[in-house]
Amino acid sequence: MNGAEALVKTLIKAGVEVCFANPGTSEMHFVAALDRHPEMRCVLCLFEGGATGAADGYARMKGDAAVTLLHLAPGFGNAFANLHNARKAGSGMVNVMGEHATWHLQFESPLRGNTVGISQAVSHWTRMSTDATTVADDGAAAVRMARSEGGRIATLILPANTAWEEAPGGPAETAAPPPRRRPRPADIAAAAEILRQPGATLMVGGEILAGSAAVLAARIVSKTGCGLMAPYFVPRQRRGAGSVPMARMVYPVDANVALLADRKTIVLCGATRPTSFFAYPGKPSLPEAPGSHLIPLCDPEMDAAWTLGALAEELGAGTTPAGTLTPLDLPDLPTGLVTPEKVGAALAALLPEEAIVVDESVTASRFVWAATETARPHDWLKTMGGAIGDCLPMAAGAAVACPDRKVVALTGDGSAMYTLQSLWTMARERLDVCVVVFANRSYRILHEELRNVGASQAGRNAARVFDIVDPPLDWVALAKGHGVEAVYAGESEALVAALRRGLGEPGPFLIEVPC
Amino acid sequence: MNGAEALVKTLIKAGVEVCFANPGTSEMHFVAALDRHPEMRCVLCLFEGGATGAADGYARMKGDAAVTLLHLAPGFGNAFANLHNARKAGSGMVNVMGEHATWHLQFESPLRGNTVGISQAVSHWTRMSTDATTVADDGAAAVRMARSEGGRIATLILPANTAWEEAPGGPAETAAPPPRRRPRPADIAAAAEILRQPGATLMVGGEILAGSAAVLAARIVSKTGCGLMAPYFVPRQRRGAGSVPMARMVYPVDANVALLADRKTIVLCGATRPTSFFAYPGKPSLPEAPGSHLIPLCDPEMDAAWTLGALAEELGAGTTPAGTLTPLDLPDLPTGLVTPEKVGAALAALLPEEAIVVDESVTASRFVWAATETARPHDWLKTMGGAIGDCLPMAAGAAVACPDRKVVALTGDGSAMYTLQSLWTMARERLDVCVVVFANRSYRILHEELRNVGASQAGRNAARVFDIVDPPLDWVALAKGHGVEAVYAGESEALVAALRRGLGEPGPFLIEVPC
């Protein structure tokens, strides 16, 4: 067999099931090898950011890495933004990037580019195969790396000749990833002691919020009386009825400073140190109160669920008190002109059990978040790296990972434009995604940020780059162009009818709301 | 004034007139400064590749650099593919990439990324400003670099505080770029001597083909009897009636080998060494005949037009013989079902004088190219780096540069999907672009390439990643969604009517042809 086939067999043997692909000629032998292995599901994305964003959503919901197949240098460039997001989410991913044959690299062909350089600018791990005989081992190493520390970005660069030349060794075995790191017992005991003191807060994030470990945090609070808080950016959070209610950080700096004003100590478990999203003149980069102490007990890369369990045991926090978990409490259906609040209420009322909400609705997000707190049980995925354009791809990937669950994609119109090609992938794969586009016809957050820097009103040039009017985007037409049915809902009654259809019937559906 | 304003004033003082922008919060002070300077035209692109592709088209037609305004790391990632193309085209460009405030970079905020690393993977020149007081000088250095060697990619990374802090020195003066390098007189004399020998070929490219210098090549041929050839990839080529007819290299390796089979010596002037686009098993990376000699007289970065003039003078090639230049010869209008040949004929018949054709029609390109050889005088721009998705952005940029000329964008459906957001920019700016989408509903070239690697027919997985059917893309709806009028033309008669409208009336218009 050739190197490409040895690699594909290695990936399949390792349990990798899905390849999100946007290949070109340099990846042709890899495609030919996939052709002989239909047990690997190939999902075509018409833009590379659609592939990496889908792999991000897939990894968060499947808890395992997918493969992406990307064209050399510029193709990887198109994939970069959602690799950045996936990196910040801790989503495991194996990127197979094509490359010219090794001997062809000395010539200045049109597509020759710095494949290693661009990969290293975002991947945790980059390797260029040098020989067909080692490609299988390289692939096994990439999968192992992608599965390590909860999920890493591993990029394997595959010169074309390493794919088409003979690989007599065949596929390789993929070793298990190294065990997640854990804090020392002394550090756990010290953190427990701190949480017993007044003014202490436990901040949990990462995998703790994704699953059942969150209840351990509630037990610790009940036992010690400490505060409990979640970061603003969480890759996957369990929410709705039966979940652990939790305050969370927010986006604006001043509000975060206020939230942490009286927290003397903060124990971080599965969460990184709270940091302002941007720096602003005269505002702090760190929202924590001056003189407060942060104890980084356990990074998100470490074994956070185990650590929280050890902490609960150390504290003797064994039972979940009655009334701790979020009750089911559905709002009335809204009426009249749609607003973000009303979209939130309609969604909260109608969201089916075990829905997956993918949220990149930016300025509308806080309203929908608040409204759905007591909705039916669901998971909430957020764009983690601040690079807008992750929502539609991530929704596609989550739907591939969880075909039995409804995915709801909440996106701003500005955000959705970066990767609208994912609508086509939803149609092609009949993915069960209901998209809600908040069409406020502007990068509204930038209007807010311009005020933050002291300009009271946008002038001609600022308005020209903040507003998406003249012409307005027509999301019903854009969806139709990609093969996705869509409706416009300006009134809540129309929105409710549209949501009933989008949430109740299988396959992709898009709703444009003017707010 | 602050650093951002000093930078904007520096750019304007240097004669930079247009900013293709997709900003975020970290660029807010730069936007605020632009707001106070409406003499800089800001063109909003809804995706960063739209901005850099537009700057590519602008630079090719204006002969000068534009500025792009890009969001930090992931935003630059989205811009990468068309930066790669612009780099290969020798298009000058100043990218202003935002960055966090210098002191904020120590913290792991969501958007923190390797801005320097990703820039260096594609830019000729990268600098991160360290201080507001030097931002103006950094901007002047960036413009000078962008204008050097015919056009370079210069990226200035602007930490937010260097934009908002005081810059008491105000704007800086931009020095002229260093003079283009020229070959030594002895090298010109030696090349002239070679061209006098039998079996010699002159290969001209770069700026020579863009303008009047091409006629010097015709004179040299007339004087010496040498062969004349152009590369396949040319950033801007003068074509149609009155232009210099010229054979050119092609895409397939075997055909290129045949073209160069009896060329003993090839003098390169403004052209790089011919190289196969990809490597294939058993095919050469270099199409030149074994034992032939290539003389790299003048790279595209050097002063190629001057060099060709010196060569003509050395050879005493002073006059253009009658009948050398391409005559006007328009084909009949086609009838019946559209084919790429018929689209070529219709376009050749109707193309207005001084049209700018932007070509990324991939498998359809050769038919339209052949048909338009004797059309009315026009310029032809080709995607230079092989990264598809440059056509619609480049067409937008060319239209901004040349508001008095009709721009015709020829694109495959697969290609156009990478940067379809540029349609909106065409509508917003009322750009005079007629787009023809060759909707063959596949990455047809990949089907051809799969055959090249020995697989006779695509199996399930290959078909799934090569075909854009199920659902078909509806380009009329996609255009409408972006605010651009569009029609579908399955018959030549409908195509002719559509072209009459698209070429005759101002503003953007899109025609979908199923071939």
A412 three-class SS = strand
pLDDT reported for residue B455:
65
pLDDT at B450 over 70: yes
How many Cα atoms occupy the beta-carbon half-sphere of A191 within 13 Å? 27
Mean pLDDT for chain A?
Answer: 95
User: Tell me, what amino acid is at A10?
Assistant: T
Nearest by CB to A21, from B22, B81, B465: name it: B465
Residues A212-231 pLDDT 10s: 999 999 999 999 999 999 99
Relative to beta strand A237-239, strand A378-382 is: antiparallel
d(CA B185, CA A158): 45
Nearest C-alpha in B relative to A114: B121
B509 three-class SS = strand
- CA distance, residue A294 to nearest chain B CA (Å): 14
Within 8 A of B249 by CB-CB distance, chain A residues are none
Q: Identify the bridge partners of residue B435 per DSSP, sorted by sequence position.
A: B409, B510
Residues A418-435 pLDDT 10s: 999 999 999 999 999 999
A360-374, A442-456, B487-501: range with lowest mean pLDDT: A442-456
Nearest C-alpha in A relative to B51: A465
Which of B99, B96, B93 lies closest to B8 in space, CA to CA?
B96
What is the band of B131 on the pLDDT scale with cuts at 50, 70, 90?
very high
What is the band of A443 on the pLDDT scale with cuts at 50, 70, 90?
confident
A21 three-class SS = strand
Q: Does A108 touch chain B (CB under 8 A)?
A: yes
Task: Judge whether B52 and B79 are in contact, CB under 8 Å.
Answer: yes
What does residue A296 show for φ and ψ, rounded to 5 degrees? Answer: -80, 75
Nearest by CB to B100, from A32, A46, A278: name it: A278
| Secondary structure of A38-57 in HEC code, one letter for each residue | CCCEEEECCCHHHHHHHHHH
ipTM: 0.96
CB contact (8 A) between residue B475 and residue A481:
yes
Cβ neighbours of B459 (radius 10 Å): 16
d(CA B335, CA B343): 10
Portion 462-481 of A in contact with B at CB < 8 A: 462, 464-466, 468, 470-481
Q: How far apart are the first and last CA of chain A?
A: 56
pLDDT reported for residue A250:
94
Residues B176-221 pLDDT 10s: 999 999 999 999 999 999 999 999 999 999 999 999 999 999 999 9
DSSP state at residue A330: P
Q: How distant is the alpha carbon of residue A204 from its chain centre? A: 18
Portion 204-263 of A in contact with B at CB < 8 A: 233
Mutation site for A-interface testing, chosen from B25, B70, B419, B424 by largest number of A Cβ within 10 Å: B25
Cβ neighbours of A254 (radius 10 Å): 14
Nearest by CB to B233, from A80, A100, A110: name it: A110
CB contact (8 A) between residue B481 and residue A459:
no
A34-43, B310-319, B344-353, B458-467: range with lowest mean pLDDT: B458-467
B395 three-class SS = helix
Domains of chain B, start order: 3-164 (3.40.50.970), 185-315 (3.40.50.1220), 340-513 (3.40.50.970)
DSSP state at residue B166: B
What is the band of A322 on the pLDDT scale with cuts at 50, 70, 90?
confident
Q: How far apart are the first and last CA of chain B?
A: 56
What is the band of B513 on the pLDDT scale with cuts at 50, 70, 90?
very high
Tokens 């023809």 sit on residue: B436
CB contact (8 A) between residue B473 and residue A465:
no
pLDDT at B418 over 90: yes
pLDDT at B275 over 90: yes
Alpha helices in B265-325 (DSSP H): 304-315
Mean pLDDT for chain B?
Answer: 95
Mean pLDDT of B282-299: 95
Which of A487, A449, A447 lies closest to A467 in space, CA to CA?
A447
Residues A369-406 pLDDT 10s: 999 999 999 999 999 999 999 999 999 999 999 999 99
d(CA A93, CA A62): 12
pLDDT reported for residue B386:
95
Cβ neighbours of A153 (radius 10 Å): 26
Tokens 């869509």 sit on residue: A486
- Better pLDDT: B49 or B466: B49
Locate B222 and state its tokens: 């007339």
Within 8 A of A277 by CB-CB distance, chain B residues are 25, 109-111
> Helices A304-315 and A185-195 meet at what angle, rounded to 10?
60
How many Cα atoms occupy the beta-carbon half-sphere of B34 within 13 Å? 31
CB contact (8 A) between residue A122 and residue B114:
yes
- The answer to whether the bond into B185 is cis (omega within 30° of 0) is no
